[in-house]
Structure 1
Amino acid sequence: MKKVSIMIVDDHTLIRETWSFLLGKNENFDVVAECGDGERAVELARDKRPDVVLLDINMAPMSGFDVLKMIRKYSPGSKIIGVSMHSQPAYAKKMLRLGAKGYVTKNSPDRKC
């Protein structure tokens, strides 16, 4: 079975490293790239063509919204999940309207299985 390739884009190093560590523990996932800025994210997406991109929307100088548009252009098969500290519906709606497959807030409550 092919592993799901994942790219993590967040300007907070601790967030990137934590997601990479947690996702890397699952044998079904392969974290193929991680970075902290939009320009590098676009380059990596074009090169790696990940199955899934976890994309922070609050980055500078290039916002996650702009990065999403460019990744969809250069890696149209990548499924993008917007990630943000903002829980306002307008952020999620904009990400989805631009082509993201989902949106999650960093302060989403834990769910016990």
Structure 2
Amino acid sequence: MVRIFITDDHPIVLEGLKNVLNATDGFSVMGTCSTGKETLEAFQEKEPDILLLDINLPDINGVELCAEVKKKHPDVYVIALSVHNEAPIINSMLRQGASGYIQKNALSEIIVEAIQDVLKGGSYVCEQSRESCAGRVVKAD
């Protein structure tokens, strides 16, 4: 069972993602948070396999939170979920250790595909973001 955690400050996004992912065979959403502080506190008790992470949070920038999560929990795969589609932001997330980057308007199948790819050791950048970067995407490690 793939353990997934979601951090996003929009309740409807949290609920929607939770429903979609819990309905996917082999996936289990083990927690949701709306702030970076809550996320770091939750990770002290339980560590997921995947963190779906919004970049715009009320208390910390998602890029900074990604770096903090990867420093304290290097085995957690981080996949950014964002409305931002600019190369500098995408590359910042990947440089801080994110294994994936997906636009928030992506279909649920894309999110599932990204999680599966990342768990196999790959990286995933959605087509919209790849096009936005026009070949300037830094590969996630």
What TM-score comes out, normalization by structure 1 length?
0.89
User: Does the residue aligned with 2:31 lie in a helix, a strand or coil?
Assistant: strand
Please tell me the residue identity of whatever aligns with 1:75.
H
What is the CA deviation profile of residues 56-82 of structure 1, one whole-angstrom value per residue up to 9, with x for unaligned ones? 001122111121112112221100001
| Structure 1 contact 46–71 (Cα < 8 Å) conserved | no
Residue 28 of structure 1: which of 26, 42, 49 is its match? 26
Q: 1:32 to 1:111 in 2, by over 3 A?
A: closer
Aligned to 1:101: 99
Instruction: Give 5+ residue unaligned stretches, structure 2.
Output: 111-141
How many percent of aligned residue pairs carry the same amino acid? 33
Matched positions, count? 110
For 1:25 and 1:107, how far apart are their aligned partners in 2? 19
For 1:111 and 1:5, how far apart are their aligned partners in 2? 18
| Structure 2 contact 7–32 (Cα < 8 Å) conserved | yes
Q: 1:109 to 1:13 in 2, by over 3 A?
A: closer
Please tell me the residue identity of whatever aligns with 1:84.
S
| Structure 1 contact 9–55 (Cα < 8 Å) conserved | yes
Q: 1:17 to 1:110 in 2, by over 3 A?
A: closer
Instruction: Give 5+ residue unaligned stretches, structure 1.
Output: none
Q: How does 1:13-92 map to 2 (within 5 A)?
A: 13-92=11-90
Q: Whose helix proportion is higher, 1 or 2? A: 2
User: Does the residue aligned with 1:15 lie in a helix, a strand or coil?
Assistant: helix
What TM-score comes out, normalization by structure 2 length?
0.73
Moved over 6 A (4+): 109-112
User: Does the residue aligned with 1:19 lie in a helix, a strand or coil?
Assistant: helix
Supply the RMSD in Å over aligned alpha carbons.
1.8
